[in-house]
Structure 1
Amino acid sequence: MKKHFLLFIILLISTSAFSQNVIQLFNSAGDFFKLLQEEKFTAAHALFDDNMKSKVSEENLKKLWTDLGAKYGKANSFDAVQSKAQGEFFAVTVEGKFANGEQNFLVGFDKAQKIVGLFLVPGKSAAAYAKPTYADTNLYTEKSVYLNSPGHQLAAIVTTPKNVKNFPVVVMVHGSGPGDMDETVGANKPFKDLAAGLAAKGIGSVRYVKRTLVYAQEFYKAFTVKEEVLDDAAAAIALAKTISGADAKKVFVLGHSLGGMLAPKIALASPDVAGIILAAAPARKLSDIIVDQNKYMFELAKDTTAAGKKQLADALIEIDKSRLTKLSPTLKADSIVVGLPASYWIDLNNYNQVNVAKMLKQKIYVLQGGNDFQVSKTDFDLWNVALGKKKNVQLKFYPELNHLLSPQTEKGTMAQYQNPVSVSEPLINDLAIWIKAK
């Protein structure tokens, strides 16, 4: 799910080309960060182009800098290390070094060397991905293919168990934001783990790169979950039915986070799907989830100052703007609201995943981790109340699992994701039993 939306500013890119003096760009980037170090926010904000100024206020910029200071300490140095042409803009990578850590930035410039975008680049993982102990490659094969939907081609991997006939297939659907086919987060690859674990149990899978990662330029305008998720999920289901050795009548959808929220909608559109797995799936509106995440982070910070409380209050007011259900004369489909176009919020807010799930005849497995700070037990309880008595539904709460479905000793923060911990083997065993059950 989305986190700390005020910390992320979208870098807009276009399609025409121009040349620019790299040294001048590096100097411009350096000037910007020097002004931030000197806390000259008005002067720094003046370096934005008009569009950027309209989307990011001087107060937003000040908050970003304050948050970085709270997280990493005093800023020591900023070095521009790379530039790359992106259409008619240039993206400059800046390495930032602070007293307690490092944070890299991507700064976008236009022809006039005005800043058109600023992005916080995720840091490198503290540790490398570790293959699960249950990933026995002697038991399965993996094949690279392409997932084709109208106007789009996405890299995908089909995993099939060896020496198994008429095996079930699971299609994996991502959570929010851009994602690779493994749903990599830090040092963890939940989809890769799930594919290996299920294959060892005689179950195939399809996982693919999310469209928002490959076709990012298409998501700087009005869009909905149809373009972000649904169209490609339908294409993946169609692909799953063609896998040699698979049972086309035993295709399941595993939706994680946002993917789980949308899984009932996917199943409604594909009634021949055998079942859906809702993994850490919100039962509430996305706005409610973001509110919970912000409150959790605030409580974790133990900031009792008036400034800290005001920061949270301001964030909650901003989030509340996302609860729209229709356009207005002053609100267009591509108007940006809490980092996403109004069309996206309207589409999602008019969707009730719980009610849709109630209508389904297919098998449903709902799972939730107790150490998940992104989606909570509140959502699991809502699923349980709505679906708990239905014969086609099974629900299970895993106290030790986090949002990435790996066992943990506490809820923690995003820093937890930098340590490689495989998806729970008991969870995979449960899923395999449920998938194979008649």
Structure 2
Amino acid sequence: MKKLLAFFFIALSLFSFSQDRKEIGNTFIKTLLVDKDIEKAHTFFDPSIAGQIPAAQLKEITTQLSEQLGSLKQILEVNNEKETYYYYSEFEKSKLDIQVTFNEANKIIGFFFVPHKIFDKADDKTAFKIKSDDIELKGTLLVPASDNKKKLVIFVHGSGPQDRDETIGENKPFKDIAEYLYTHGIASYRYDKRTYSNPETFNEQFTVEQETINDAINAALYFKNNKDYQDYQILVLGHSQGAFLMPKIAEKAQASKYIFLAGNARPLQNLLVEQFEYIHAIEPDKISQEAVQNIKKQVAFLNSSQFNLNTPKSELPLGQPVAYWKYLKDYNQLNEVKKIKEPMFFAQGGKDYQVTEKDFNLWKNELKNDKTAVFKFYPALSHLFIPVSGKPSPKNYEIKGKVDEQFLKDLVQFILK
């Protein structure tokens, strides 16, 4: 979809603000996606953009969007940051933000479809910010008012730009888990990952330290050293990539316990090949044979002696820069996890095609002599710890579900033990 929609342009400086922009954006979206009056919608663009996106191209893009998302049902809410407005929109097949940027003349100079961005409301008492290196982590802090067990869990996301709820399709697993913990007297803090909130902070030299590890450590240490939480036990919960990187987080987080949810014990690049092959086999329209061969070629190069610090990222998996992959190649999570002295909880779903029972068993075997490590396998649960039926596939994420209660009970038992 990005190739179809990547006509986002840098906004001009804002010298004045118009109260009419919200309504102008509403009218533009209705004209384009409901009335399908392409010529009229095209007139909302600034001439600098209109010249680059002819009406015929806009019509083609709109048609393909309709095929992918279905019809626009309603705009759920509107938020803005200066000159950029986010129209949280419900389509037949998905929900996302339509991002519209205006210039000082109230003409559109940016138009993009992006994952829904969470905006903290002024009256939201659970909104909480923490300074982490060069940014503020914006998140949600839930602290039970009664029956407080004095335990606080820090949530660490999976790969990619993730919001604090770890929204994936119609599901919000982090929100489900945090709210369940809250009802059982357990506090939590979940924040927007910096690839979601501050993607501009990344450059070619960044690694998973900047992407994930440092922010998780900073969040844990914030509560560890905050006088208001001196009598709390701090725990860190990582999902997928967050669990994969947990041994590095544990080096400095000073937490009391660590929770690994569907973390890969094998090298990430090797899992990518397995994932691409699996999805191609069940949904070839999503990942082509060409894409499978390409990822195999990139991973083979990455794993070879030819890989070096001068390798262009075009030759590497996912288009990530060389520094990113160099760090991961040097990282051995199975060696590092043995250094953790605190109790650990490992959970794995049997319907998870992204991280599988192979990984779960590798963790389990590596820690077979650690009597404090707890391992739980759930045959019917997906990568999000939501029950699914049939053969697992990406389509599972499009169906709204809730995190499994038995898993949640086991998690609470570990936290309170």
Q: CA deviation at 1:422?
A: 1.1
TM-score of the aligned structures, taking structure 2 as reference length: 0.71
Q: CA deviation at 1:17?
A: 6.2
- Stretches of 4+ aligned residues off by more than 6 angstroms: 6-18, 34-37, 100-108, 117-120, 324-327, 332-336
Deviations 1:125-146 (A, max 9, x none): xxxxxxxxxxxxxxxx962211
Could you tell me which of 152, 157, 162 is aligned with 2:145?
A: 162
Superposition pairs of residues 220-369 of structure 1, within 5 angstroms: 220-241=203-224, 242=226, 244=228, 247-248=231-232, 250-270=233-253, 272-301=254-283, 309-323=289-303, 328=308, 330-331=310-311, 338-369=318-349
Distance 1:316 1:36 in 2: 33
8 Å CA contact 1:222–1:334 kept in 2: the answer is no
Superposition pairs of residues 39-438 of structure 1, within 5 angstroms: 121=114, 143-165=126-148, 167-241=150-224, 242=226, 244=228, 247-248=231-232, 250-270=233-253, 272-301=254-283, 309-323=289-303, 328=308, 330-331=310-311, 338-437=318-417
The alignment partner of 1:288 has SS state of helix
Which segment drifts farther, 313-322 or 372-381?
Answer: 313-322
Who is 1:133 aligned against?
Answer: none
The alignment partner of 2:185 has SS state of coil
Distance 1:337 1:392 in 2: 36
| Identical positions, percent | 30
The alignment partner of 1:359 has SS state of coil
Distance 1:414 1:357 in 2: 30
Q: 1:421 is matched by which residue type in structure 2?
A: G
The alignment partner of 2:384 has SS state of coil
Which segment drifts farther, 357-366 or 404-413?
Answer: 404-413
In structure 2, do the counterparts of structure 1 residues 167 and 34 end up closer, same or farther at CA, with 3 Å as the change threshold? closer
Distance 2:289 2:315 in 1: 28
Could you tell me which of 8, 28, 36 is aligned with 2:52?
A: 28
8 Å CA contact 2:266–2:359 kept in 1: the answer is yes
Q: CA deviation at 1:247?
A: 3.1
In structure 2, do the counterparts of structure 1 residues 268 and 360 end up closer, same or farther at CA, with 3 Å as the change threshold? same
In structure 2, do the counterparts of structure 1 residues 386 and 408 end up closer, same or farther at CA, with 3 Å as the change threshold? same
Q: 1:293 is matched by which residue type in structure 2?
A: Q
TM-score of the aligned structures, taking structure 1 as reference length: 0.68
Pick the structure with more strand per residue: 1
Q: CA deviation at 1:302?
A: 6.0
Mark the runs of 5 or more structure 1 residues left unpaired by the alignment.
38-67, 74-85, 109-116, 125-140
In structure 2, do the counterparts of structure 1 residues 192 and 389 end up closer, same or farther at CA, with 3 Å as the change threshold? same
8 Å CA contact 2:165–2:190 kept in 1: the answer is yes
In structure 2, do the counterparts of structure 1 residues 9 and 22 end up closer, same or farther at CA, with 3 Å as the change threshold? closer
8 Å CA contact 2:165–2:174 kept in 1: the answer is yes
8 Å CA contact 2:223–2:229 kept in 1: the answer is no
Q: CA deviation at 1:286?
A: 1.0
Q: 1:301 is matched by which residue type in structure 2?
A: E
Distance 2:148 2:171 in 1: 31
Distance 1:390 1:334 in 2: 42
Distance 1:8 1:235 in 2: 38
Mark the runs of 5 or more structure 2 residues left unpaired by the alignment.
15-43, 69-80, 102-109, 118-123
Distance 2:144 2:206 in 1: 37
Q: 1:353 is matched by which residue type in structure 2?
A: Q
Q: 1:364 is matched by which residue type in structure 2?
A: M
Distance 2:137 2:202 in 1: 16
Q: CA deviation at 1:360?
A: 1.2
Who is 2:29 aligned against?
Answer: none
Q: CA deviation at 1:274?
A: 0.9
8 Å CA contact 2:149–2:186 kept in 1: the answer is no
8 Å CA contact 2:313–2:321 kept in 1: the answer is yes
In structure 2, do the counterparts of structure 1 residues 213 and 121 end up closer, same or farther at CA, with 3 Å as the change threshold? closer
Aligned-residue RMSD, C-alpha? 4.5
If asked which structure has higher relative contact order (CA below 8 Å, sep 6+), I would say: 1
In structure 2, do the counterparts of structure 1 residues 22 and 257 end up closer, same or farther at CA, with 3 Å as the change threshold? same
Q: CA deviation at 1:26?
A: 3.7
8 Å CA contact 1:275–1:364 kept in 2: the answer is yes
Distance 1:230 1:214 in 2: 16
Distance 2:323 2:391 in 1: 33
Who is 2:28 aligned against?
Answer: none
Which segment drifts farther, 255-264 or 308-317?
Answer: 308-317
Q: 1:300 is matched by which residue type in structure 2?
A: I
8 Å CA contact 2:309–2:322 kept in 1: the answer is no
Which segment drifts farther, 206-215 or 20-29?
Answer: 20-29
Distance 2:357 2:56 in 1: 43
Deviations 1:8-55 (A, max 9, x none): 99999879869x972452453348959999xxxxxxxxxxxxxxxxxx
Q: CA deviation at 1:334?
A: 11
Q: 2:135 is matched by which residue type in structure 1?
A: H
Distance 2:288 2:313 in 1: 33
Who is 1:45 aligned against?
Answer: none
Q: CA deviation at 1:323?
A: 3.7
Residue correspondences, number: 360
In structure 2, do the counterparts of structure 1 residues 215 and 322 end up closer, same or farther at CA, with 3 Å as the change threshold? farther
